[in-house]
Structure 1
Amino acid sequence: MPFWIVLFICVVVAYFAVTEGAKKYFDMKLQVLFNLGLYQDCIDLLDRKLARIVMSTYKQYYLRFTIYEAADMDAYADRMLDHLLEMPCSDKQRRQLAVRAFNFYIKTGDRKRAASMLEEMRPIVSKGILADSQLTYDIVFCRRHDKIDEMEAMLDTSDLGLRGKLYLLLSYQYESSGNKGEALRYRNLEKQLRDAHRPPTIKQNTH
């Protein structure tokens, strides 16, 4: 075999080895930083040239969306989500994105886009996810309020994300039923829970 072919093969193998190693490094580093709430550090890591080279554009935008959403930077997260929804991706990625987008639009009170995502989810997600999403939509936008007792019985959960969601859904239900005092109490509980776990703010000049 000619020397130049051997050299070419060695270069290709080395390139893929370095690329895969870099992918694993960035994945592990981002996971650690995210779990620590160091969201600005996550963005700084994604801004590195090597990260842009080894990660797909879809993955970069998805990670940025996740980070901005966790940091309560909804305008930035919304912009990332707009890009993501226009990108080609696998069926599995689209299912995951549709659910994430629905929950984000529920959070931001965007009824039209939440309804659009809910319709997209109907044929592609599990019955359990669809039922939970439909219930959430009905409580937030259609004034449904028949799940108060059931949800209050679930408040002792150790899952902070679930507890925060329950606080919000209970506040909507009490408001719909005319009990503004309880609605305000649960909204304040959700805010207190969120503020207690609020991460450092991401610099506003990020993209």
Structure 2
Amino acid sequence: MRFALLIFSVAIFTSVKSQQIFDNLRASQLGDSILIQWTLLADYSCNDMLLQRSVKDENFKTIFSISGICGATENISYQYLDGINLQSAQKYNYRISASSDYYISNTATIIFNNTGDRDIVIFPNPASSDFIISINNNLSIPLHAEIISLDGKILWQNVLYSHLAEIHSELANGIYILRIITDDGIIRYSKFIIQQ
């Protein structure tokens, strides 16, 4: 009897992993919100959908529901702008669910970048070695970034093509200055500490 139950539960698990009905789920920052976009394949347009979000790696929770539209002959594209209780430097995961979680999309992950009134935020600060630079969306990219020692030596420089950059450093313990320069000549500074 136990053997039969085990086979039955495996069969149910396998059927839930059936074909994918969602295409191209992606999340991108749009100002102080996150834009989620995806496509539903035409043959499955009758399915109601749930947009689900998880913060960090917690359980997914539904933040929006969409009613199905039966009879579609072409794939349907959807967009949702999430501005609900977003916190800067936080990782958000999004997925789409349909038919009581029978169909689940891939997961789109984004780190939300909102510096508020500050032009540069470095976190964690102090950092052990790796850290993230979050730059205000009002500064246009590309951005020239430099890490400078307190005695004025340029220790690292690079061009940033995003307002959020992860830096892998081999800096010794100490205080450093991050200098950001825009193509328009705007210069911003921020101090940070490396403490291993």
Task: Tell me the TM-score normalized by structure 2.
Answer: 0.31
Which structure: greater helix fraction? 1
Is the radius of gyration larger for structure 1 or structure 2? 2
Task: Tell me the TM-score normalized by structure 1.
Answer: 0.30
